Amino acid sequence: MLVNALGVLLALSLWTPDIAWAQAPSTSAQAPRRLLAFGDSLTAGYGLAPEDTFPVKLQARLRADGFKVTVANGGFSGDTTAGGLARVKWVLADRPQYALIEFGANDALRGLDPQLARANLIKILDRMKADGVRALLIGMHAPANWGPDYAKAFDAIYPDLAKQYNVPLYPFFLEGVAFNPALNQPDGLHPNAGGVDVIVARIAPDVEKLLRTKPARP
């Protein structure tokens, strides 16, 4: 997957996107549903024009498919699962009804203990559940350079937690994009605009299934 990239991580810029919802109509019956895309640089849109980021393109796809939804960009470049946990209270202050949870790539690239990543994701899921946010967990794969034991422990985190919390799982965020130079930026880590198109096309049915569930809060 994202291999031989530890040096690149040191160069990643830290960009904090504003989390802002579109102006909602005056009545709750007309208000768009609020979906938070919560993750690292893959969500934030590192190296991309604003209109080419995952949250923007996902929102356009969902609306084209008839879903009245606003997607907020809660991505932060360079974040590990620990960084996501540190920000979860802040991003939930905007009261999303649904969330996509995309963390783990930076943990795996740095060879951090998979058990720490698991513990951080558990706390994020606990907070989402306590706040009545319906979540879709998005998986990542460990790079091969840490060895098979590490990869086995890391990759198991996502299906295990999806089952434990009874939340839907999208197994691999970069499915169809990883290792394809035509769909990635020169660093080999981050999708280009065409790569984002592939990700959105693949994940949209899972997100739409999530949005068909009744929100737990208005």
Report pLDDT digits (tens) over 121-171. 999 999 999 999 999 999 999 999 999 999 999 999 999 999 999 999 999
Per the residue annotation, which of 41, 79, 107, 141 is the catalytic one? Answer: 41
CA 212 distance to own-chain centroid: 19
Q: Which pLDDT value is given to residue 15?
A: 37
Q: pTM (2 decimals)?
A: 0.87
Q: Is residue 162 part of a domain?
A: yes
Longest dimension (CA), the chain: 54
Q: Which residues pair with 36 in a beta bridge?
A: 72, 99
**Would you call 28 a catalytic residue per the annotation?**
no
Q: How large is the angle between the packed helices 81-92 and 114-130, nearest 10 degrees?
A: 10
Q: Is residue 133 part of a domain?
A: yes
**Would you call 187 a catalytic residue per the annotation?**
yes
Of the given ranges (16-20, 32-36, 160-164, 185-189), which has the lowest mean pLDDT?
16-20
- Report the mean per-residue pLDDT for the chain: 90
Q: Is residue 86 part of a domain?
A: yes
Q: Is residue 1 part of a domain?
A: no
Per the residue annotation, which of 52, 131, 160, 187 is the catalytic one? Answer: 187
Q: Domain containing 84 — which CATH number?
A: 3.40.50.1110
Q: Which pLDDT value is given to residue 13?
A: 35
Q: Is residue 76 part of a domain?
A: yes
The C-alpha atoms of residue 17 and residue 97 are separated, in whole angstroms, by: 19
Domain holding 77, by residue range, is 9-19+34-211
Q: Is residue 4 part of a domain?
A: no
Please tell me the total count of domains within the chain.
1
Q: Is residue 141 part of a domain?
A: yes
Q: Is residue 25 part of a domain?
A: no
**Would you call 190 a catalytic residue per the annotation?**
yes
Amino acid letter, residue 162 = A
